[in-house]
Amino acid sequence: MSNLNDLFEDPSAKVEHFKSTYAMLKSSPDVEPPRRLMFEFEKPRKASWLWQWMAPMAASAAVAFAVVTFTPRPQAPPQIVERVVQQQVSAPAVAPVDYQQQIDELRAELKARNIAQAKEILRVRGQMDLMASDQRAMEREATVNASDIQLLASNRVRN
Amino acid sequence: MKLSGLKPVDDRTIIERVLKGDTEAFNLLVRQWEKPIYNFILRMIGDRDEAMDLCQDSFMKAYRELDTLKDRDRFSSWLYRIAHNTCYSKLRKDQGKTFVELDPDTRGGSKPSIESRLAVEKALQQLPEDQREVVVLKVYQNLKFDEIAAIQDAPVSTVKSRLYMGFEKLRSILGED
C-alpha cells in the first residue's frame, strides 16, 4: 500500500523530502584525520668513493675493449700492394743483359777453341805425314826385297 | 620536508615530479587528498582508527601503482577507486562485525549538531554498501555520476538508481528518528 502511495506521491513533495535528507546528510561535515600522513622514502644508499670511481672506469674500459674488438680493421689491399712493392725491392735485381760482352766472350771462347783445334789438326797432319813416310819407306824396302828376291831367284836359276 | 607554506599544486604536475624521481613530492598529493579520502573511508567503514589505517594503505598502494595511471588528469577518480577497493576488501573481511559508534565527545561542536551527525552516521551505516558509497561520493565528495560509475565499475544508470534508493531509505530511517 505504501508503494502504491509512493507512485502517486507528488513529485515536488518527493523533491522536498530529498532536499531535507540531503540537508541532514550535509549536517555531518568532513572531519580532520586524527593524524597526518607523511611518507618517508628510503633514499638510495650512497656508494663508497671507490665504487663511485670504479663503476665509470669499468664502464669506460668495457667500451674501449668493445671498440677495439669490434672496429673493422684497415682494408687489406694497401698491405698487399705494399708487400708486392717490398718484394720487388728486396728481390735480387736482374742485371741488364750485356749482349756485347757475351758476344766477345763467345768469340774469345771460339777463337781459343779454333786455335786448339788447329793445333790438333796440325798434330794429326804431322802424324799422317809421318805414317805416309813410313809407308813409303816400307814400300821402298819391299821393292828392294822383291828385287833382291828376283835377283836371288835368277842367280839360283843360273846356278 | 616542509609542506605548510606551499601552494596547492596541480595533481598532474606533482605526479610527473614523483615519476621523475622526486618521491618526496608524493607527500603533496597526500596532503591534498588525505582529508577527502579519510572521510570517504570513515563513512564507509564507520571506525576512525580503521579509516586512518585504510587511508594510509590506499595512499601506499597509490604510490606503488602511480606509474600505471594512464590519464593523470583523473588522479582523484583513480585514488577513490583504490580507496573503494580497500574499503570493500576490509568490509568483506569484517562481514558480520559491527563497529563501535564514534565517541561524540571527540567530534566537537554543539549538542544538536552532534545528535544530528550521529543520526546521519547511523543511518548511513544501515544502507547497503553500494548505496552508501554512492550517497557518500555524491553528497560529500561532489563527484560526477560518471566518476562514481568508474569507481564502482557500474553503469551510470545503476549509480543513479542506487542514489535514489539510498535517499529513499535514508529518508525513511531519518524520518523514523
Instruction: Describe the crossing of helices B156-176 and A11-26 by its angle, rounded to 10 degrees.
Output: 80
Separation between Cα atoms, residue B124 and residue A80, nearest integer Å: 95
The domains located in chain B, with CATH, are 1-100 (1.10.1740.10), 105-177 (1.10.10.10)
Separation between Cα atoms, residue B52 and residue A34, nearest integer Å: 7
Q: Where do we find the cell 586512518? A: B52
At a CB cut-off of 8 Å and minimum separation 6, what does B175 contact? none
Contacts of residue B170 in chain A, CB cutoff 8 Å?
21, 24-25
Inter-chain residue contact B27 with A39, CB threshold 8 Å: yes
Instruction: Determine the average pLDDT of the residues in B47-72.
Output: 91
Separation between Cα atoms, residue A37 and residue A47, nearest integer Å: 30
Q: Is B85 on the interface with A (CB under 8 A)?
A: no
Mean pLDDT score across all residues of chain A: 78
Separation between Cα atoms, residue A43 and residue A45, nearest integer Å: 6
Q: pLDDT tens across A58-104, in order?
A: 888 888 888 877 777 665 555 544 444 444 545 555 667 888 888 99
Percent of all residues in chain B with a pLDDT value above 90, rounded to a whole number: 50
Decide if A22 contacts B136 (C-beta within 8 A): no
What are the Cα distances from residue B66, in Å, to B51, B57, B161? 22, 14, 32
Separation between Cα atoms, residue A54 and residue A41, nearest integer Å: 27
Instruction: Determine the average pLDDT of the residues in A43-65.
Output: 74
Inter-chain residue contact B26 with A21, CB threshold 8 Å: no
Residue ranges of the alpha helices (H) in B94-128? Answer: 111-126
Say whether pLDDT at B117 is over 50. yes
Say whether pLDDT at B149 is over 90. yes
What does the DSSP 8-state code read for residue B24?
G
Return the minimum-mean-pLDDT range out of A25-39, A144-158, B3-17, B90-104.
Answer: B90-104
Which pLDDT value is given to residue A139?
93
Residue B42: pLDDT band (50, 70, 90) is very high
Specify the long-range contacts of residues B147-151, CB closer than 8 Å, at least 24 apart.
B147/B76, B147/B77, B147/B80, B150/B77, B150/B81, B151/B77, B151/B80, B151/B81, B151/B84
Inter-chain residue contact A38 with B42, CB threshold 8 Å: no
Pick from B68, B82, B61: nearest CA to B151: B82
Inter-chain residue contact A28 with B116, CB threshold 8 Å: yes
Q: How many residues belong to chain A?
A: 159
CA distance A28 to chain B (A): 5
Q: Nearest by CB to B139, which of A22, A33, A37?
A: A22
